Amino acid sequence: MKPALADYCILVLSFICVLRSEKCVQEYIGRQMVFEENNPLRLDCSIQHYERANFTLNWYMNGNDTPLVTQLFPRVFQEKTSLWFIPAIGQDSGLYHCIISYRNSTKCYKYSVPIAVLNNSAGRCFNEQYYLKQTLFPRGPSPIVCHQVNMFGQKVDYPSIHWYKECEPIQGERFELFTNHLIFKDVKKDDEGKYVCKGTYTFRGNKYNFSNSILMNVLEDLARKRTEILYPINHTIEADVGSNVFTECNVSSFKDTPISISWRVNNTLVDNLFEGRIIEGFQTNIPKEGAEIFTVSLNITKLKNEDYDQYFTCHAGEVAAYIKIQRPTKNRAAFVILILLLIIPVLICILFKIEIVLWYRKSCRPFFHKKVSDGKIYDAYVLYPKISSQVDFVLKLLPEVLEKQCGYSLFIPGRDDLPGKALVNVVDETITQSRRLIMILVSGSSSSEEAPEQNIAVYHALIPDGIKTILIEMSKIKDYSNMPESIRYIKQKQGAIRWKGDFMKKDSSSANSSFWKKVRYRMPPEHQGSQELALMPAPCSASQMIEA
């Protein structure tokens, strides 16, 4: 049954307060839990992370920032990750949440659950505000169960448990009492009705009372045949020792057809077998398209070795299905190794792409040399501003490295152009005869003197299948807004190489330095220089090509 409207309002307002002050990751929001007053109550923190690292867990109520701190063995206290109420009273209604924080970390996780504790003013008679539904079939023997007993480690006085139907004590040979079960030797339709079980238990030397209100229905045979377990379907799940395993049994049945669902191991209820370490949740139902989906959860708070290969069976009337837990397979390590074997070569190719390409060209240089039959005369045309510092770089350092050490043929205006020819004709002809265009860029330079050359060179770079361009920045150029739009387009499309060397240092003229490797990578495959003809290696074999 639903709790009073006031209780719901309190829970909703409390939940809004928590949402506004949210600072942690909301791991899970549990369904509302309803309990009867004066019964034992335990809340478990259903967060999967706390088994994996050192942590601190605190319980809070109604959005308060102060943890629930209690004195020695009070009525409400925390033990490990659980919050206990021995017993629960009406003032305990509210929104509870546990927060787990880790040492040396700013991360935290939250699990929230609203609870309502309802009063039974009718004493031993049926509690109309809150009761549990249980269903039996017209075939005996069958039991109904007094829940909330032996779930929290307390010692239950089973002989003290008494059963009532419609407020009258149950007597007769048709009934048998066993622990917290009332067994009907022969279930009849007349056995339907309102039942109450009452008894006592001892916790830490103190005795407490408990009671349950149970609405028992007898299901017809036809309805029983329509019951179907949707989940589980006799399968296995993997989990590590010490982890928390939470699953549910989902049962489909026709609408208004009550059924009783329970989790068992070897035909024994888990609540009676594992002393609270494995807990069966309360049965809920959701209407769906003329039918109802019934759900009962199974919470293994801490998985042990003896739980492996056990059959945790969900019983729903005459149908049943199980879940078996097994250790995780070792295929994860093999999968990780396979992924690494695939990723590492890719990373090597990305990080050492330039070195790999240059090594490949050098190892198979004769192969590339024989393939050059494009009719070009020059490997690169050099376009540069006529500034003294840049002239030294272009006329001295550039030929020293690219021509003498690498065997390239460069056309450098001011060094290789012939007198008597028009500038426009020379630039257009030599760029057409070149495989690359090297453009030297200087920060703050308007390049007005090179405007005719630059326009012709950029034209050849931008036309379809035009000449490939290598941009070299002589210093860091922060702003390209003063550059022509065509230069900005080339820079955006393929980037630029920045010169960071020092003309006075020897390594500045080494072809194996980082700067010159980048330039050589964008140049065509290197040719044989005259100084290296005597040391020309033999053409690459098939095995060398495959290795490269």
CA distance linking residue 245 with residue 163, whole number of Å: 34
Q: Is domain 132-218 in CATH 2.60.40.10, yes or no? A: yes
Tell me what the mean pLDDT of segment 30-39 comes to: 77
Q: Tell me the percentage of the chain whose pLDDT exceeds 70.
A: 78
Report how far apart the first and last C-alpha atoms of the chain are (Å, whole number): 76
Q: What is residue 537's predicted lDDT score, i.e. its pLDDT? A: 37
Alpha carbons 474 and 394: distance in angstroms, whole number: 11
Beta strands in 52-172 (DSSP E): 55-61, 76-79, 82-85, 94-102, 108-118, 132-136, 142-145, 155-165, 168-169
> Is residue 315's pLDDT more than 50?
yes
Which residues are paired to 142 by β-bridges?
184
pLDDT for res 115: 87
Enumerate the domain spans of the chain: 21-118, 132-218, 228-326, 378-522
Alpha carbons 273 and 179: distance in angstroms, whole number: 13
CATH for 21-118 is 2.60.40.10
Q: What is the CB neighbour count within 10 angstroms for residue 54?
A: 9
358 vs 294: which has the higher pLDDT: 294
- The answer to whether residues 291 and 254 touch, using CB atoms and an 8 Å cutoff, is yes
CATH fold of the domain at 228-326: Immunoglobulin-like (2.60.40)
- Among all chains, which residue has been given the structure tokens 């039991």? 143
Say what the pLDDT of residue 331 is. 59
Q: What share of the chain is helix, strand, coil (3-state, %, to 5)?
A: 30, 35, 40
pLDDT-based confidence at residue 535 (cuts at 50, 70, 90)? very low
Instruction: Express each pLDDT in 217-252 by its tens digit.
Output: 887 654 445 788 888 888 888 888 888 999 999 998
Q: What is the pLDDT of residue 224?
A: 46
Element (DSSP H or E) covering residue 546: helix 542-547
Q: Which of 63-72, 218-227, 484-493, 530-539 has the lowest mean pLDDT?
A: 530-539
pLDDT reported for residue 320: 92
- Which of residues 290 and 22 earns the better pLDDT score? 290
Q: Which of 37, 292, 450, 453 is catalytic?
A: 453
Going by pLDDT thresholds of 50, 70 and 90, the confidence category of residue 359 is confident
**pLDDT above 50 (res 178):** yes
Q: Residue 9: is its pLDDT beyond 90?
A: no
Report the relative pairing of strands 268-269 and 245-254 from DSSP bridges. unpaired
Q: Which CATH architecture has domain 378-522?
A: 3-Layer(aba) Sandwich (3.40)
**What is the gyration radius of the CA atoms in the chain, in angstroms?**
42
The two three-digit tokens of residue 270, written as one number: 């888990």
Q: Give residue 140's pLDDT.
A: 66
Percent of the chain residues past pLDDT 90, beyond the cut: 6
Antiparallel, parallel or unpaired: β 268-269 and 206-218: unpaired
| Average confidence (pLDDT) over 360-381 | 71
Same fold, 21-118 and 132-218: yes
44 forms beta bridges with 82
Residue 168 bears catalytic tag: no
Contact call for residues 210 and 151 (beta carbons, < 8 A): no
- Token pair for 215: 């609405």
Which of 89-93, 304-308, 509-513 is modeled with the greatest confidence? Answer: 304-308
- What's the rounded mean pLDDT across residues 54-79? 78
